[in-house]
A and B are shown apart, each in its own frame.
Chain A
Amino acid sequence: MAQENVEFPITGKITSVNVSQGSKVEEGDILCLLESMKMENPILAPVSGTVTKLELSVGQVVEVGNLVAIIEY
């Protein structure tokens, strides 16, 4: 199975985590919401598959390049 590492494209604070480890996601589903530059930015799933790794919590501050999730497809 191929897997894809999803990384944060901007620095910000997580305001909600919408999926958890083991969730099935479709391409374009919202993985989590990130507050950055006074805006809420959704981070979307780039592929359809299963989330095999996701370790995020609300309020966590993340940097560019940090891991959002690993999706297996």
Chain B
Amino acid sequence: MLGFFETGVGSLTWGSIVMLIIGGVLLYLGIAKKMEPLLLVPIGFGVILVNLPLGGLMACIVHGEVVEAYAIGGEPAGLISRIFRYGLAWEIIPCLIFLGLGAMTDFGPLIANPKTLILGAGAQFGVYFAFFIALLLGFSIQEACSIGIIGGADGPTTIYLTNRLAPHFIGATAVAAYTYMALVPIIQPPVIKLLTTKKEREIYMKPQLRPVSKTEKILFPVVAAIIIILLVPKSAPLIGMFMFGNLLFVCGVTDRLADTAANAFMNILTILLGLCVGCFMSAESFLKPESLLVFALGVIAFAASTAFGVTLAKFMNLFLKEKINPMIGAAGVSAVPMAARVVQKMGQQANPRNFLLMHAMGPNIAGVIGTATAAGIFLGMVG
């Protein structure tokens, strides 16, 4: 008997078996269906690892005793719980990911067509919409902030904010944000179709955006960082790193640094983050009504952001001489480049002459700035 209990088999619960299956499904989606494999493969494997009993990956020491599950007040004692504590709970990895994102982002489409900045801001209404629904459902104001920010579909920002405000929800919100990022091509099209007529989806936009000079590209991250951080100081860690990464990319004299930030460094961070997020999906913490509610509210937040973006684009069309295709408003969520890709695909379906990719990149990039700023506003409010 003793030998049997020393293996993990005897400690398997129904919950952990369900989670092992979920981990398997995530791996399947990532590997066989090629859905966001860079995220889903580490997350899926993390889920499997953490739900094998007695492995101690998330172990923490609380009052001198080792517990299997991660404890916010405890001393981390396992591989992943340590990476999590010093990388994520200390808010290092999400901010550094923004450095890498900055080094990969071309602000050109946004600079060429600054109107699209409004769309990136408009989609953030979804964040506040879900925030109020969560409040009405009885979540605390801190929890409601973390749930609302899922609507921005920005993983690092969601993790950063939840960790500050509602750390007990970090597993659920992080997984929700990353899952919905991967599910952008499934969630967005029905919302877009519901709010636009066929004729609106067919609106043609000229492919050529105005060329953007190098000076503009260099000035943008510097000026944007100064303005945004002066207005919303709490957004400094995310926006600061994002704009710094971008400056490395565009200034032309730090190509080596930009290359590392965008590739090798980003890959390392993605591995660490993905595993951590997966390991937060243990049966005890994930299969709870609260977590499932967070998941449900997350999808509402995300659909609402899409809807607000599209509606705002339609509203802008009332004033614009050269109409924009309202679908590009949907790209105002910050899932780059997934949302822009969805708009591009739907645009081509509606009208094969249309090529909306670059037009959608503007709001998409503005969405990243918008979500990080919304997080800063929440932190300033309740942090």
Contact = CB atoms under 8 A, between A and B. Distances in A.
A64 B344 contact: no
Find the residue from A36, A37, A39 having the highest chain B CB count within 10 A: A37
Given A10-B358, A27-B352, A44-B348, A39 B341 contact: yes
B357 A41 contact: yes
A37 B208 contact: no
B270 to A, nearest CB: 15
Q: Which of B341, B355, B361 has the most CB of A within 10 A?
A: B355
Chain A interface mostly: loop
A27 B202 CA distance: 14
A44 B337 contact: no
A39 B337 contact: yes
A65 interface: yes
Nearest to B352: A44
A37 B352 contact: no
Contact of B207 (A10, A27, A45): A10
Contacts of B341: 39
Given A37-B337, A37-B357, A39-B337, A9 B207 contact: yes
B143 to A, nearest CB: 36
B91 to A, nearest CB: 28
Interface string B341-364: 100100011001101011001000
Contacts of B106: 37
A10 B355 contact: yes
Interface in A1-17: 7, 9-10
Interface residues of B, number: 14
Interface string A27-53: 110000000110101101110000000
B303 to A, nearest CB: 24
Contacts of A10: 207, 355, 357-358
A37 B361 CA distance: 11
Contact of B208 (A28, A36, A39, A64): A64
A46 B353 contact: yes
Contacts of B355: 9-10, 41
Nearest to A11: B358
B33 to A, nearest CB: 16
B357 A46 contact: no
A65 B352 CA distance: 16
Contacts of A9: 207, 355, 357-358
Interface in B300-336: none
Contact of B352 (A36, A41, A46, A64): A46
Interface in B49-99: none
Contacts of A64: 207-208
B338 to A, nearest CB: 10
A28 B353 CA distance: 9
A10 B377 CA distance: 36
A68 B355 CA distance: 14
5 contacts: A10-B357, A37-B337, A37-B357, A39-B341, A41-B344
Given A9-B207, A37-B337, A41-B357, 4 more contacts: A7-B207, A27-B352, A28-B348, A41-B355
4 A-B pairs with the lowest CB-CB distances in the bound complex, closest first: A9-B207, A9-B355, A44-B352, A46-B353
